Every structure is written in C-alpha cells, then in structure tokens.
C-alpha cells in the first residue's frame, strides 16, 4: 500500500463533478487532570490568584469592589466558540490556471480574516494557481479578491479584498501555549462550496511534527481534506492556533491531519507586512540528515554537508562531508530544527556554528545568506 501526504488544498470541480473532496472530523475532549495554580495560604485558608484561575482553566472573572465578590464565568462551550469564530472564516473560490476554457472548472478553499480592512489568510497552495478569486464571508457577502503575498515554503498566503469593518479572528499568542489532548475546533469549506463554515471537533494529537514540511506542524485528529485548506484550527478560548494544510492518506489511516502553527503564521505574516515577502536566512550549505533522524529515532547525530553555496561558508573552509552539530548554541539534528531556529535571523547577520571541519571540531562565525 502506498502512503502519501496530500495538501488539503483548493478543491477542484470540473464540469460540476467532484474530483477531490474535503471535510473535518470529530473527536472527544480528554478528561481534565490535576492542574496547579498560584496560591497563598493565610490563617489556614488557601487563596488562589484570580489571574491564575482564568489562565489555567480559561474563562473570565471580574471583581466587584463594592460587594467584595468575584464572579467567574467558565470557558465557553463548543457551540459558543463556533458562533464566535465562524464570522471570521471565509470561503475562497476561483478558476484554476489549468482549468482551460471549461466554464465550470472551479477550485475552492478556506480563509481566515486577519485584518478588518480586507486581509485574508489562507494556504499558498489554495490561491497560487487561482484566478478570478471570489471571497464569500459568513454572512453571504461576495468580494473580488486578489492574491497579495504567497510563500510556498511555509504554505501561507494573503488575499486582499476591498472591505472594511470585517470581523477579525483572534490569533493565539506566539510562542504557542498548547497541550496535546486539548479540544480543538476546525471550521472550513468541505467538498462543496455550499458547505461553507462547516464545523467539527477533535483534539490536538501532537506538536512539533515534521512531515514533508519546512517547519514544524501541529497534528490533529480532525480529518483535513481538500477544500478545508486555509481554515482555522481553534482552541477552546476561541483563538486560532493553526491553519489547516495537509493530511496522511492511506488505507487503514484515519484522522491524521496537520496544521501550520501560529508561531509560523506570525513569523511569515509579519515578514509579509514588513518586507512584502519572507526574508529567509540560510547557512549557505546543503545539508542531509542522518538515517536515525530520517526514520524518527532519537539521535544526537549532526547534519552532513552535501554542498557549499555561500562565500562565507567557503571562506570558513566548509567542505562536502563535514558535519554540523550546533547553531547559535543549539544542538541541531534535523533540518526542520535548523529552519525553526533561523526564523530569528535575517540574511547578512552572523551566527555561531559548531562543525566538524576537515576532522577538527571547531566553532566559527558564519554570515547568513538568503535562502
């Protein structure tokens, strides 16, 4: 049997017939375990800080000084979260570049309203080959859209529409604070464009995954299929923690979907708005992972140099076959680890590397180049 990764990309309809489908899966929340909160003991009584209570359990609280009472509102339930987030989720439909002259050759995906003046976040693979883009908001309004920024490396893109006062999604803070097993909600446009704002629930199945990706991904048991790409993965605070992108496909494999985490979203969109593209830094060398890293075994093996591209690397004497062990004081065993670390740097900056060069373990300063 052949196992493969597929993008949950723009679903393509040709002559009104479905070629590839999409949807989201359901899951159940894990039972809550013991939680620790900041507290103070006074005269035998334990007092929990209100900020610790809401920070740990979610929800909100207010203190009434006149009555000296504290009112606590528990976290919202799933229907409330869906109702809160859905207005910020849009459907994106257009004509694929390779659709030819066929009148009904269409493709669609999902997007998230990022700014109230018409900035829509989605996947790069949804819109990079799409023309005549139309964005439909949750209230049924239609807008002509234009692809503004595309970064295929991260699989993120921005679409701009001429609109104001749009309901903006709330994005989780970066770095993401999340736990495996917590309930997540997916909202998107499965199978048919008429099924916009379909919502289902699941759990966060794993974090820091690297599967056919440049950066780390979130894993969820929500089934992410074509048409749902670009839609949000939402926590129980109503915050977008990821943008859904791909899934595993094979007989016997169920509910293994992957989302781009908010950390990468913040990094890429920040660069979009500042530079209009991603100024991605590189060590200027080609690298290869060890066998252990490739198959997913725990390992301290470094990365082997397969090519030397930058002048800075050449001046350091880096050669094919040398081994990279650490960058900026961080041990590196996988290319995804390196890519994540380099998010904090720009081309032209210097960075400390530790390598085995010509049989000697050395530490050197390397000038980063453009990826």
Active site residues: 125, 155, 229
C-alpha closest to that of 222 among 194, 251, 187: 187
Cβ neighbourhood burial of 167 (10 Å; 0-12, 13-18, 19+): middle
Q: What 3 state SS string does 224-239 have?
A: CCCCCCCCEEECCCCE
Question: What secondary structure letter does DSSP report for 266?
Answer: H
Per-residue buried b or exposed e for 216-226, using 16+ beta carbons within 10 Å of the residue's own CB: bbbbbbbbbbb
DSSP string, 132-175: EEEEE-TTS-EEEEEEEEEETTTTEEEEEES--S--PPEEPPSS
* Residues contacting 319, CB < 8 A, separation 6+: 305, 308, 357, 358
């Amino acid at each position: 049997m052949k196992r493969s990764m597929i993008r949950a990309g723009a679903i393509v309809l040709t002559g009104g017939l479905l070629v590839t489908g999409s949807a989201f899966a359901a899951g159940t929340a894990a039972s809550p375990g013991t939680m620790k909160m900041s507290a103070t003991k006074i005269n035998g009584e334990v007092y929990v800080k209100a900020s610790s209570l809401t920070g740990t359990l979610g929800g909100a609280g207010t203190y009434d000084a006149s009555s000296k009472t504290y009112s606590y509102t528990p976290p919202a339930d799933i229907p409330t979260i869906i109702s809160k987030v859905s207005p910020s989720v849009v459907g994106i439909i257009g004509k694929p570049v390779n659709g030819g002259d066929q009148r009904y050759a269409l493709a669609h995906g999902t997007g998230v309203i990022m700014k109230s003046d018409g900035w829509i976040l989605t996947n790069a693979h949804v819109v990079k080959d799409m023309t005549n883009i139309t964005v439909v908001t949750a209230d049924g309004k239609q807008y002509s859209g234009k692809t503004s920024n595309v970064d295929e490396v991260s699989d993120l893109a921005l679409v701009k529409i001429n609109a104001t006062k749009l309901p903006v999604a709330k994005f989780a803070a970066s770095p993401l604070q999340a736990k495996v097993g917590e309930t997540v909600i997916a909202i998107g446009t499965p199978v048919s464009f008429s099924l916009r704002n379909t919502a289902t629930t699941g759990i966060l199945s794993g974090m820091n995954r690297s599967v056919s990706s440049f950066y780390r991904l979130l894993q969820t048991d929500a089934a992410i299929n074509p048409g749902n790409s670009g839609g949000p993965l939402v926590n129980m605070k109503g915050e977008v923690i990821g943008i859904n992108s791909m899934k595993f496909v094979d007989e016997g494999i169920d509910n293994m979907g992957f989302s781009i985490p908010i950390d990468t979203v913040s990094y890429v969109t920040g660069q979009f708005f500042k530079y209009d593209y991603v100024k991605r830094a590189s060590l200027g060398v080609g690298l290869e992972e060890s066998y252990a890293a490739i198959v997913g075994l725990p390992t301290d093996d470094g990365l082997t140099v397969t090519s030397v591209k930058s002048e800075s690397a050449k001046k350091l004497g880096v050669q094919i076959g040398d081994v990279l062990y650490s960058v900026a004081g961080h041990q590196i065993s996988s290319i995804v680890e390196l890519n994540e670390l380099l998010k904090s740097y720009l081309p032209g900056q210097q960075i400390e590397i530790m390598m085995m060069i010509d049989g000697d373990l050395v530490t050197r300063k390397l000038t980063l180049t453009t990826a």
